Amino acid sequence: MPEPIQVTVVGLGYVGLPLAVALARQFPTTGLDINRQRIAELRSGHDRTGEIDTARLSASSLSLTDQPQQCPPSQFYIVTVPTPIDSANLPDLGALQAASRTVAALLPAAVAAGLEPVVIYESTVYPGVTEDVCAPILEAGSGLVCGRDFYLGYSPERINPGDREHTIDKITKVVSGQTPQVLDRVAQLYEAVTSGGVFRAASIKVAEAAKVIENAQRDINIAFMNEIAQIFSKMDLSVWDVLAAARTKWNFLPFAPGLVGGHCIGVDPYYLAHQAAALGHDPRVILTGRGINDGMAEWVAQELHQARGEQAGTVLVLGLTFKENIPDLRNSKVADLAKALAARGHTVTVHDPLADPVEARHEYGIELTAALEAQHDLVLLAVPHSQYLKMGPAELRKLVAPGGLLADLKGELGGMADWSL
């Protein structure tokens, strides 16, 4: 009787943890994360990302460790570490390279056990990274030969933080492998954990490219919405009124304006742009869209400042996470907005019931307030968490000082605010 398939997932963040829990329902699975505190929290049943609830986490057979040497020899090593950008908007592959070195040290034991290990990357990258960047690191660190002793696969992550509909066990997974046989193995692995089936990409580079254009496409469409919001503002038109009319056409794409943060849409287009530039192509559309979206916080701050008659005052910003109903603070553009308001002389207070105060302080130097008591000259509903929407416009307006403004960034208050995009 064949030995059960053993899987090791490297990186237990928003992507890795849901995947590891799903895999553990079908296979012996080990989750490895170098963050000791993260592992301790998960062992206690707490997932700070909010993706896996305590009951499900406690019931999982997933093994957890922060020590690579504790990972058993595995047929599959799945890398799910973040791939951010640096201060110059260039790809930062540091975590991916470090994870590859970690996996490299584990491969000899798997080969010695006759497992023919496959290293699958889920991290978003530009086409070519898996084979041209990661493979040499795996070979150098293991002393093995890629394509003979171990193999490569790529299956782009499609986790949408806070989305309880498109979960890992329901979505279609794009899969790829170094050889047809490896592709079959990778496909069978993911078919075991998702009812959405798999799509077999023509190559690893095709799978990498498919992922990076998914988010670039969304970024460009949102950039158009942000640009028309700026245009209609000059015409004294509500962009939400315009969109309500336009969306009655059957093939109108239902994108909306707003701040584009998070770890994916605000980051991934730079990966594609970087590779395009390296090939001698000017990625004008991609970078123009990025420029519009990156500048949106500054534009909103100026609009709010003008709505206040360019008079500095006290501002309460409601919400700091990059989108509603999740604790994810990565690449929050609300932080940029708060900074831009402060630069115009406003005294800014930020409240968020879901964000981690320690993380907010560490990442952005923002001290979150725990109370919603004092009245402010401007109250901005920046992130429409359910808690805020349940309060309703009347309760929110009680936070506004006499003569002040209630502002609604995403049009969630149904025209009851004094200012909206």
Band the pLDDT of 258: cuts 50, 70, 90: very high
Q: Is the pTM of this model over 0.85?
A: yes
The pLDDT, as a whole number, for residue 169 is 85
Secondary structure (3-state) at 180: helix
The pLDDT, as a whole number, for residue 95 is 97
The string of pLDDT tens digits covering residues 134-148 is 999 999 999 999 999
The string of pLDDT tens digits covering residues 384-398 is 999 999 999 999 999
Match 């192509």 to its residue by tokens. Answer: 281
Say which of 71, 134, 146, 264 is annotated catalytic.
264
Closest CA to 135 of 241, 208, 220, 194: 208
For the segment 218-222, the average pLDDT, to the nearest whole number, is: 96
2 pLDDT above the threshold of 70: no
> Phi, psi at residue 13, to the nearest 5°?
-95, -145
CATH number corresponding to 296-421: 3.40.50.720
The residue with greater pLDDT, 53 or 380, is: 380
> Phi, psi at residue 381, to the nearest 5°?
-80, 95
CB 321 within 8 A of CB 338: no
The string of pLDDT tens digits covering residues 176-189 is 999 999 999 999 99
Task: Please list the residue range(s) of the chain that carry CATH number 1.10.1040.
Answer: 206-294
Dihedral angle sign, alpha carbons of residues 356, 407, 410, 334: negative
Q: How buried is 70 (Cβ within 10 angstroms: 0-12 exposed, 13-18 middle, 19+ buried)? A: exposed
At 93, list the tokens: 């592959």
- Distance, CA of 354 to CA of 386 (rounded, Å): 11
- Distance, CA of 55 to CA of 377 (rounded, Å): 43
CATH number corresponding to 206-294: 1.10.1040
For the segment 400-416, the average pLDDT, to the nearest whole number, is: 94
- Distance, CA of 137 to CA of 346 (rounded, Å): 49
- Mean pLDDT of all residues belonging to the chain: 95
The pLDDT, as a whole number, for residue 1 is 36
**How many percent of the chain have pLDDT more than 90?**
92
> Phi, psi at residue 349, to the nearest 5°?
-115, 135
At 275, list the tokens: 């590779």
The string of pLDDT tens digits covering residues 122-175 is 999 999 999 999 999 999 999 999 999 999 999 999 877 776 777 888 899 999
352 pLDDT above the threshold of 50: yes
- Could you please state the CATH topology (level 3) that the domain comprising 7-201 is classified under: Rossmann fold (3.40.50)
For the segment 72-92, the average pLDDT, to the nearest whole number, is: 96
The pLDDT, as a whole number, for residue 213 is 95
Count of all residues that appear for the chain in the document: 421
Task: Please list the residue range(s) of the chain that carry CATH number 3.40.50.720.
Answer: 7-201, 296-421
Strand partners, 32: 10, 65
Which range among 81-90, 154-163, 258-267, 273-282 shows the weakest confidence by mean pLDDT? 154-163
Is there a catalytic annotation at residue 264?
yes
